[in-house]
């Protein structure tokens, strides 16, 4: 994949991470990413988007981004800041698109980018005496097209995530994901009352630092999940809150949301996001 498509895809991923996505909306985002990845002429496809009602607003934004990538002199010292600016500019347009389409209707929208040729169907032979149509003689030349949607769905389900990172996204993902296994073990230790004051301090510092990194990268939801986790550890450290089952499940919900958004997992995380945010409201009584 060329740099322009990598950049645009990751802008879309980052912008989507700031939205609450149902499983259907996640599928639409995946279809959009796939369409860009498969594009043979990204400039032309974006120009076509601007002519399609559902994609017009997004197409205008993507046109601005593609112009920056393809026609401007890129200042690589400041490309991260520009990347965050571009991804932020897509949030509203992607949200507009997701409110207008379903996976089924979006597939029809994408077909307008590359109109599918009308299938060639051979006429059935007719026995002049019996006037009987030999159905076995009907040949549909585009049988491959009929299974395209099924293959796309299977690809989205079974394929492992491919490396299509921008200059900074890979480092961001690596940093955020690095402590996840240790944090999961910490939750088990909390349940078994096998944790120390130092454990809580160290992990609270890590989560606070990663929340700041997430904010700089423009991922507000991920940043908030880190803040909730860090504050909870501090409150437990101060013996203001006991790590009971509800608390541990809320912390686990934070981790699930973080992993799902960073890795762009196609699962509905609404339950976990709501659980974490409801718990966050309970934490407001603690002024740390």
* The predicted structure's pLDDT at residue 269: 81
For the domain bounded by 169-283, which CATH number is listed? 1.20.120
Predicted TM-score (pTM) of this structure: 0.48
* The predicted structure's pLDDT at residue 24: 81
Q: What percent of the chain has pLDDT over 70?
A: 77
| Mean of pLDDT over the chain | 79
Q: Which two tokens stand for residue 218?
A: 């423009």
| Average pLDDT, integer, range 154-166 | 43
Q: Can you tell me whether residue 133 is helix, strand or coil?
A: strand
Q: How far apart are CA 288 and CA 121, in angstroms?
A: 71
| Lowest mean pLDDT, pick from 72-86, 107-121, 239-253 | 107-121
> What one-character-per-residue DSSP string does 149-197 give?
HHHHHHHHHHSPPP----TTHHHHHHHHHTTHHHHHHHHHHHHTT---H
User: Is pLDDT of 199 > 60?
Assistant: yes
Render the burial of 81-106: b for 16+ CB within 10 Å, e for the rest: ebbbebbeebbebbbebbeebebeeb
Beta bridge partners of 133: 126
Q: Which two tokens stand for residue 113?
A: 């980018």
Report the chain's terminal Cα–Cα distance, integer Å: 46
> What one-character-per-residue DSSP string does 106-130 give?
HHHHHHTTSPPPPPPBPPPPB-TTT
As annotated, the residues of the chain forming the CATH 1.20.120 domain(s) are 169-283
Q: How confident is the model at residue 151 (pLDDT cuts 50, 70, 90)?
A: low
Rg of the chain over Cα atoms, rounded to whole angstroms, equals 24
* The predicted structure's pLDDT at residue 25: 85
241 or 24, higher pLDDT: 241
Q: How far apart are CA 272 and CA 173, in angstroms?
A: 20
* The predicted structure's pLDDT at residue 182: 95
User: Is pLDDT of 18 > 50?
Assistant: yes
Q: What percent of the chain has pLDDT over 90?
A: 28
């Amino acid at each position: 994949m060329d740099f322009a498509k990598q950049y645009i895809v990751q802008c879309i991923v980052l912008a989507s991470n700031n939205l609450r996505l149902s499983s259907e909306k996640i599928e639409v985002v995946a279809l959009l990413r796939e369409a860009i990845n498969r594009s043979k002429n990204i400039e032309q496809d974006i120009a076509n988007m601007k002519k399609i009602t559902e994609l017009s607003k997004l197409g205008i934004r993507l046109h601005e981004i593609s112009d920056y990538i393809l026609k401007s002199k890129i200042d690589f010292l400041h490309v991260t800041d520009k990347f965050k600016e571009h991804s932020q500019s897509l949030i509203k347009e992607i949200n507009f698109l997701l409110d207008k389409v379903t996976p089924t209707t979006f597939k029809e929208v994408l077909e307008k980018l590359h109109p599918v040729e009308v299938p060639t169907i051979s006429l059935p032979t007719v026995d002049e005496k019996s006037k009987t149509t030999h159905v076995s003689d009907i040949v549909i030349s585009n049988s491959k097209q009929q299974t395209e949607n099924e293959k796309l769905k299977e690809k989205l389900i079974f394929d492992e995530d491919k490396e299509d990172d921008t200059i900074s996204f890979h480092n961001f993902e690596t940093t955020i994901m690095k402590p996840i296994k240790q944090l999961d073990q910490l939750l088990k230790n909390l349940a078994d009352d096998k944790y120390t004051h130092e454990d809580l301090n160290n992990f609270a510092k890590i989560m606070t630092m990663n929340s700041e990194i997430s904010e700089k990268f423009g991922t507000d939801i991920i940043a908030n999940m880190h803040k909730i986790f860090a504050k909870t550890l501090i409150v437990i450290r101060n013996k203001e809150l006991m790590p009971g089952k509800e608390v541990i499940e809320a912390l686990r919900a934070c981790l699930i949301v973080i992993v799902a958004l960073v890795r762009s997992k196609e699962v509905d995380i609404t339950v976990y996001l709501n659980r974490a945010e409801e718990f966050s409201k309970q934490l407001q009584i603690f002024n740390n």
